[in-house]
Amino acid sequence: MRMTLLLLCFAATCFTQAEALQTGAEQLVNQPDISPVELKAKHIALVANQSSLVGGTHLLELLLQQGLQVKTVFSPEHGFRGNADAGAKVDNSIDPETGVAVVSLYGQHKKPKVEALKGINLLIFDVQDVGVRYYTYLSTLHYVMEAAAEQDIPLLVLDRPNPNGAYVDGPVLENHYQSFVGMHPIPLLHGMTLGELALMIKGEAWINKAEQLKLFVLPIKNYQRDIPYDLPVRPSPNLPNAQAVVLYPSLGFFEATPLSIGRGTDFPFQVLGYTNPPLGPFAFSPVAKAGAALTPPLKNQLVLGQDLRKVKAGGLDLSYLIQAQALFAKHQLKLFNSPDFMDKLSGTSKLRQQVEQGWSEAQIRQSWQADLQKFRQQRRPYLLYPDHPL
């Protein structure tokens, strides 16, 4: 059934504009009785990374201080402490600060294995997302949900704001292009939190045994998706600030091109450049950066392009792709040197083809409006917060 969702909505989490925003994790720590599932006497596995903070303290440490039995930590891409480069292998380890075993969910085993869940009777998920479909924390949530359903383990999702939550935009993923950078038929910018998406994944049966999953979401208190939210900690090594986060939907496509978006600099996802032809007057040189970019594109080369650190940004801006394509075509060069990856990022081959064929931004946007309208209707039963996205 579409709406067989085990969601508890509490008076304490209802919207009150006069009060400060509180994440699900903050409420769980400060008001343990608000938890929709019993925590004491549970053997807990926590899905978390460096963004799982309450104030300046990690959720793992706070749960242990409260005497809860956190037996295992599962970590997504970039590792538990968030210091691994994009795509870098992350090994299992022991967290030196707490002594808790850390199991990587990035690499060969993206889904929690049965043996790693042995003896666990509660999963808690608390990871900060950025609201872009190809950001892989959503994919990790998918696999955690499926493992929880298959092993009959309750899952509690502690919700956090979506810093790009005001926008619903971009192509809707076609199933043929499903991959770890896009697993669900949702737009590039979906305007939802991970808590809402968890409800949708279950309700739409996008995981195996979805009807068996005991899913609980602890919503954000006093949250509006259209109010800007500046993340208190970088969600991954190459998204260091709010400007990078809001430019990420527009610049992420360039990972499928030879251009640099600033990996290996102090301003990743805040510049755009190339060697020849140059994209502008701003000069920079990517270098190896441990824990962020060991082999960045155009490493140790002089790159010329655009400094986007102070531009007004928000939503999906296709002008960067369109302008780069026009410049490369003028020099008889191919912009998308990894077309298959571009199609996975886009969730369709249509966007790449439209850009290569010289479509205008208005024409491209018009081509996905019908799908966006269907998605807005489809997602409506799963929304936990006021719905007024752009």
Residue 210 tokens, joined: 């979805």
Report residue 280 as tokens: 């502008």
Q: Domain check: are 148 and 279 in the same one?
A: no
CA–CA separation, 175 vs 169, rounded Å? 18
Domain coverage including residue 325: 242-356
Q: What are phi and psi of 187, to 5 degrees?
A: -70, 165
What number of H helices and E strands is found in the chain? 10, 14
Q: Do 295 and 345 have their domain in common?
A: yes
**In a shared domain, residues 98 and 185:** yes
Same-domain check for residues 191 and 267: no
Tens digit of each residue's pLDDT, the chain (390 residues) = 444 444 444 333 344 444 899 999 999 999 989 999 999 999 999 999 999 999 999 999 999 999 999 999 999 887 787 555 555 556 778 888 899 999 999 878 899 999 999 999 999 999 999 999 999 999 999 999 999 999 999 999 999 999 999 999 999 999 999 999 999 999 999 999 999 999 999 999 999 999 999 999 999 999 999 888 889 999 999 999 999 999 999 999 999 999 999 999 999 999 999 999 999 999 999 999 988 888 999 999 999 999 999 999 999 999 999 999 999 999 999 999 999 999 999 999 999 999 999 999 999 999 999 999 999 999 999 999 998 766
Is position 108 within any domain?
Answer: yes
Q: Is the same domain home to 145 and 170? A: yes
- The two tokens of residue 258 are 């030879």
Distance CA 50, CA 90 (A): 14
Total domains, the chain: 2
Residue 119's domain is classified under what CATH number?
Answer: 3.40.50.12170
227 and 331 both lie in a single domain = no
10 Å CB burial of residue 78 (0-12, 13-18, 19+) is buried
284 lies in the same domain as 223: no
Burial class (CB in 10 A: 0-12, 13-18, 19+), 387: middle
Q: Please tell me whether residues 123 and 190 are part of one structural domain.
A: yes
What span, in angstroms and rounded, lies between the C-alpha atoms of 282 and 201?
43
CA distance 190 to 172: 9
